[in-house]
Structure 1
């Protein structure tokens, strides 16, 4: 049975995790909505640069690993997936191509798989913390 204090701590942890997951998107990429056009070839790219995606992914890995060491994997994976995908979808839904829903499914699948791997790797840390606290 979970005590009220333990439950409150877990709920706060989940809320912080959701906000931090969404913040990874907002901090690195949500503000960049312009596509770049190569003046020579006319090729369009973007709107995100490689460094933005790398920073976003690395930040999300850190958030997920820390959460995985403190919360159960079955809580971490869906929380990270839903929060990050919702933040992404919020900005992507204004894209004029109309393909944002397809992208949202791809982001959700990738985030789910990545979060599962990272949070799963953090489980031994969580077990070690429990043994030290006992």
Structure 2
């Protein structure tokens, strides 16, 4: 298969990115429902710890960067952000009786789309600079 971008190839690669995005959510966040309770104050935190969120974010950055090279940048961002947000929201909705998961989902969507757009823009700029240097 050549490196030419065709609609079918872009669709298949985007579906692969979407699957990897959901897999990233599952590996880093989807299996963690444990909340920590402070024995002194009784306040709860979690379920996520900073290192797992940072690792998850780094993998998503990598997916968007690679995706931007193989599919149009908008498709890479959408293929990573939308499935990741959907996976997060479906899981959160099942865990939350207050309805605040909707706010969290909106913030996850804004963060993944905004961060993904920034990563795609930087990736394109670096690729353009590398091409110009040749």
Q: Identify the TM-score tier after normalising by the shorter chain.
A: 0.7 to 0.9
Is 1:19 aligned to residue 23 of structure 2? no
Runs of 4+ in 1 over 4 A off after TM superposition: 125-131
Equivalent residue runs for 1:1-134 within 5 Å: 6-96=6-96, 97-124=98-125, 127=128
- DSSP-derived class of the 1:93 partner: helix
8 Å CA contact 1:65, 1:122 repeated in 2: yes
8 Å CA contact 2:81, 2:113 repeated in 1: yes
Please report the TM-score for the alignment, with normalisation by the length of structure 1: 0.85
Deviation, 1:6, is: 2.3
Deviation, 1:122, is: 1.2
- DSSP-derived class of the 1:42 partner: coil
Deviation, 1:126, is: 5.0
Please report the TM-score for the alignment, with normalisation by the length of structure 2: 0.85
Cα-to-partner distance string for 1:55-100 (whole Å, 9 max, x where unaligned): 1101101111111122111212222221110111121111233210
